[in-house]
Amino acid sequence: MLTAALAPLPPEDGLRRWTYHTLFGLIAVTGMRITEVMGLERNDVDLDAGVLTVWLTKFGKSRLVLLHATTRTALRD
């Protein structure tokens, strides 16, 4: 899987591998576009409610993306 290929990215103690893991993981489990994921701000993420608010959409209308419980757990970790 793509996320497994990210594990060896240097540096081992850096954030790059986790940034890419989260980016591609969100794209895979939510169907969001890369620009939508890249446009997320911390205030757009409500892990308690399991909802992402996407403002930068292809057609300019905001939308809500529901998160599965396993996705919420992964994002919290």
Q: How many domains does the chain have?
A: 1
Of 50, 53, 38, 54, the C-alpha closest to 74 is 50
What are the pLDDT digits (tens) for 20-43?
A: 878 888 999 999 999 999 999 999
**CATH number of the domain to which 15 belongs:** 1.10.443.10
Of 4, 76, 66, 54, the C-alpha closest to 29 is 66
C-alpha 23/C-alpha 37 separation (Å) is 7
Of 77, 7, 74, the C-alpha closest to 30 is 74
Containing domain of residue 21, as a range? 2-76
Whole-number CA gyration radius for the chain:
13
Between 63 and 18, residue with greater pLDDT:
63
pTM of the model as a whole: 0.74
The DSSP symbol for 9 reads P
